[in-house]
Chain A
Amino acid sequence: MTKQHEREPIINIQNVEKHYGSVTALDGVSIKIEAGEFFSLLGPSGCGKTTLLRIISGFDNPSVGTVFIGGADMTDVPPNERPTNMVFQSYAIFPHLNVADNVGYGLKKQKLPKEEIDRRVDDALKLVDLEGYGPRESHALSGGQRQRVALARALIMKPKVLLLDEPLSALDKKLRETMQSELRKLQRTVGITFVLVTHDQEEALTMSDRIAVMFDGRIAQIDSPEGLYRRPISRRVASFIGVMNFIPATVIENTNKILSLNIKSLGQLDIKTSSALKKSEVITVGIRPEMLTILYNKSDTSEYSFNASIENASYYGDMTYYEVFIEDTDIKATVSMRNTAGRPVLEIGSKARVGWGKDSITIL
């Protein structure tokens, strides 16, 4: 279709399966990753992310299927001969070597002159902001520093693809957020493909060009962060990426690409669609909390609105999250409001009018 698909992908995973005895860790996984992309594998713990990363790196072999890197079949290529390098979850810093020897580890084999190695080690340390740390003992490093050493050690090899297995999960929140933007910047600087494994949807959204969402060893959806958030293809994806309110609806009519829906207790509306839903089919529509607005004043207007009672309010400083019951139903919805001037935090138990627009609806 587009140019992207004509280019040879740097990583081409074709129909990969991995079985451990009776456990199916991966099932029919196919992914194409473009050169220079920041690609994330996102999914809950145990969904097979690490297994897939280890298959790309060569530490595990697929039971079925093939992995191509740079167009070459990797089936019989051992990890030490693949154009990939890995940042391990535990960082795997060699405890018996100092920082410089850790970073230069992979170069020693290449029979380079010592000055050349020293220069490249210095460059790599500079790249990860650890200038002058070369002679330090590796066991005296902090978590963040260990991670930078692991990054430098992998990047010095000039791999085509850098694989990162939950690299930030061992860091505290503040440091994690700093490292997120630094990793992103680093990827732009070096320009190589990053494949990042994470269970943290926020991390995946903020860092990636594209994300593959995985559940139970299968790919659920591959899209850009915005695409995933705005157009999740299933309820499961929708609730894994951010918060989504689910409301049942019935199809009244679907003609000429106009879908008429009767959304339970919210009323009837028509939206443009290309879906093939049939008359009287029961479906779910999703709406994000930020697409719902509490109408503070009687004069505030909105395309649609419903009455609700406030069940709970969580105050986050800049935002307040309300859990509300849609009036006369047992349907719960989350509404997020920015705490701007003139928007007091509403009391639990009080009534409110909630406005929304039909463009914000996702059909699942």
Chain B
Amino acid sequence: MSKEIKSSKALPNIWQKPKFVPKMTPRSWTGIALISPPFAYSLLMLAAPLLLVFLLSMWTQNYLELDRTFTFANYKEAASEKLYQVLMIRSVVISGVVTIVTVLLAYPIAYYIAFFGGKRKSMWLLLITIPFWTSYLIRVFLWKVILGYNGVINGSLMGLGFIEEPLTFILYNANAVVITLAHAWAPFAILPIFVSLSRIDFSLLEAARDLGDGPLRRFFRVTLPLSMPGVVAASLIVFIPTVGDYVTPRLLGGTNGLMIANMIQIQFGKANNAPLGSALAVSAMIIVASASIAFVLLNRRFLKVKG
């Protein structure tokens, strides 16, 4: 091996001192000073708790004591127990459905604002953020009022005589969770899609038209592929946090709508098994991360395009 390297003069010697050694100029000190506070903050607030959860997940809870011997037993339990499997799958499925519904609803809105917003674009974007002006909890309760047995929907439908009994499929189940989450996350999906749509050079759309495409063909051949970065971003922004959502299933999910985060909370609280809770949390994180990475890889040909 070493002989080979010697014989080939063209190969660079990696042991040589690098030609360019960055020097610390006053400017770079300014740079370091500028990024230090956020760096320290994220270390403290993000990395440290995460590390703690990792550690915790490999210990064992013995009633009031924490056994700090290193073990994977919690992960084995998390993976083999039927209940946890069900909750994990349900979380991913609900979150996936929420993502699809949200993106499908957000796309036309973003499309309208980007192409027909005219001078009122910023007004439309402002209107979209209005739900944020109240607390999420209040919005969840409002959905309860809308979807409930004596709620707005059932009340009006029964009042009008369309139905005899209140509709039961819209509250205290997975559907209610999907509806509420899709509404709550819509702005986060609209914005990235809007951005990628507004970046599309209009002459590309005209070129497609010029080459014989009607509006529909043009949409699927040019507009949609070029807005995929926004769609991918929107999907991740919605999917990643909703898998771990806790409040919505708790308040609207009933028993069949509970998700993995509710179980994690139970483990940390009533069940007094923080290590198992941590293992569930880490498992959820790994599943979400893998799903997200797979999704990005599936769409990578759309993402490398420079507009």
Contact = CB atoms under 8 A, between A and B. Distances in A.
- Our verdict on whether A and B bind, yes or no, reads yes
A86 B207 CA distance: 7
B306 A139 contact: yes
16 contacts: A59-B206, A59-B209, A79-B209, A80-B214, A84-B210, A85-B210, A86-B210, A88-B203, A88-B207, A90-B201, A95-B305, A95-B306, A96-B305, A139-B305, A154-B211, A157-B212
Contacts of B306: 95, 139
Interface in A74-109: 78-80, 84-86, 88-90, 92, 94-96, 105-106, 109
A288 interface: no
A49 interface: no
A92 B209 contact: no
B66 to A, nearest CB: 54
Contacts of A110: 212
Contacts of A57: 210
Contacts of B210: 57, 59, 79-80, 84-86, 154
A153 interface: yes
Nearest to A163: B210
B212 A109 contact: yes
Contact of B222 (A80, A94, A153, A157): A94
Contacts of B204: 92, 94-95
Contacts of B207: 86, 88, 92, 94, 153
B212 to A, nearest CB: 5
Nearest to B207: A92
A80 B206 contact: no
Interface in A181-197: none
B225 interface: yes
A105 B206 contact: no
Contacts of A89: 203
A47 to B, nearest CB: 21
Contacts of B212: 80, 106, 109-110, 157
A78 B209 CA distance: 9
B303 to A, nearest CB: 10
B18 interface: no
A105 B213 CA distance: 9
Contacts of B226: 95-96
Interface in B140-156: none
Q: Which 5 A-B pairs have the closest CB atoms?
A: A106-B211, A92-B207, A92-B203, A96-B305, A88-B203
A113 to B, nearest CB: 18
A21 to B, nearest CB: 14
Interface string B11-52: 000000000000000000000000000000000000000000
Contact of B211 (A59, A90, A139, A157): A157
Interface residues of A, number: 23
Nearest to A82: B210
B302 interface: yes
B225 A92 contact: no
Nearest to A88: B203
Contacts of B213: 80, 109
B3 to A, nearest CB: 39
B46 to A, nearest CB: 35
Nearest to B225: A96
B217 interface: yes
A124 B217 CA distance: 23
Interface string B263-307: 000000000000000000000000000000000000001100111
Nearest to A105: B211
A78 B201 CA distance: 20
Nearest to B302: A96
A83 B225 CA distance: 27
Given A92-B201, A110-B212, A154-B211, 16 more contacts: A59-B206, A59-B210, A78-B214, A79-B206, A80-B211, A85-B211, A86-B206, A88-B203, A88-B206, A90-B203, A92-B206, A94-B208, A95-B305, A96-B305, A105-B208, A139-B305
A229 B307 CA distance: 43
A105 B206 CA distance: 13
A175 to B, nearest CB: 21
A90 B225 CA distance: 20
Nearest to B214: A80
Contacts of B214: 78, 80
Contact of B217 (A85, A109, A154): A109
Nearest to B306: A139
Contacts of A79: 206, 209-210
A218 B208 CA distance: 30
